């Protein structure tokens, strides 16, 4: 039953992503050229909602769907690692016109060229998994 609920939530999320133009290459292009606030507004709204929800989970000790405690582990502050990762992510986002979330939305919206991006995103993740132990922490 939970799988069906997750599936339905995913469908609703995908529709909202497409209707809000969060998956629009044109909107992403505008964002990277600093010509429009649209995509920054979507990202900023998601950030605010995420911060509020995390604080509510911590304050009220909300449990997961499985009844388990939700624990937030602090991340190590490794600036060069996140800096280079962010640059690579941003370049991929700018070149592909989509970040990982909207990639799957675009498949559902029948943009077959995004499949090339998905294949290489999966390949990049696989290569990272192979090299992870030798990369700087």
The kind and range of the H/E element at 123 are helix 114-131
Q: Which domain holds residue 113?
A: 2-134
Specify the pLDDT at position 1: 84
| CB 96, CB 117: distance < 8 Å | yes
Task: Tell me how long the chain is.
Answer: 137
Record the pTM: 0.76
Domain total of the chain: 1
Specify the pLDDT at position 122: 93
Print pLDDT tens along the chain (137 aa). Answer: 889 999 999 999 999 999 999 989 889 889 989 999 999 999 999 999 999 999 999 999 999 988 999 999 988 777 788 888 889 888 988 888 888 888 989 998 999 999 999 999 999 999 999 999 998 77
Query: What 8-state DSSP symbol labels residue 51?
Result: H
Query: What 8-state DSSP symbol labels residue 69?
Result: B
């Amino acid at each position: 039953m939970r799988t069906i609920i997750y599936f339905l939530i995913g469908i609703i999320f995908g529709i909202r992503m497409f209707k809000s133009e969060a998956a629009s290459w044109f909107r992403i292009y505008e964002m990277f050229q600093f010509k429009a606030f649209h995509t920054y507004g979507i990202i900023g709204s998601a950030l605010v909602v995420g911060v509020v929800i995390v604080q509510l989970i911590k304050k009220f000790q909300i449990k997961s769907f499985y009844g388990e405690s939700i624990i937030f582990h602090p991340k190590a502050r490794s600036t060069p690692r996140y800096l280079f990762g962010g640059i690579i992510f941003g370049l991929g986002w700018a070149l592909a016109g989509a970040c990982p979330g909207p990639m799957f939305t675009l498949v559902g919206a029948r943009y077959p060229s995004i499949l090339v991006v998905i294949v290489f995103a999966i390949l990049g993740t696989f290569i990272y998994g192979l090299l992870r132990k030798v990369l700087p922490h």
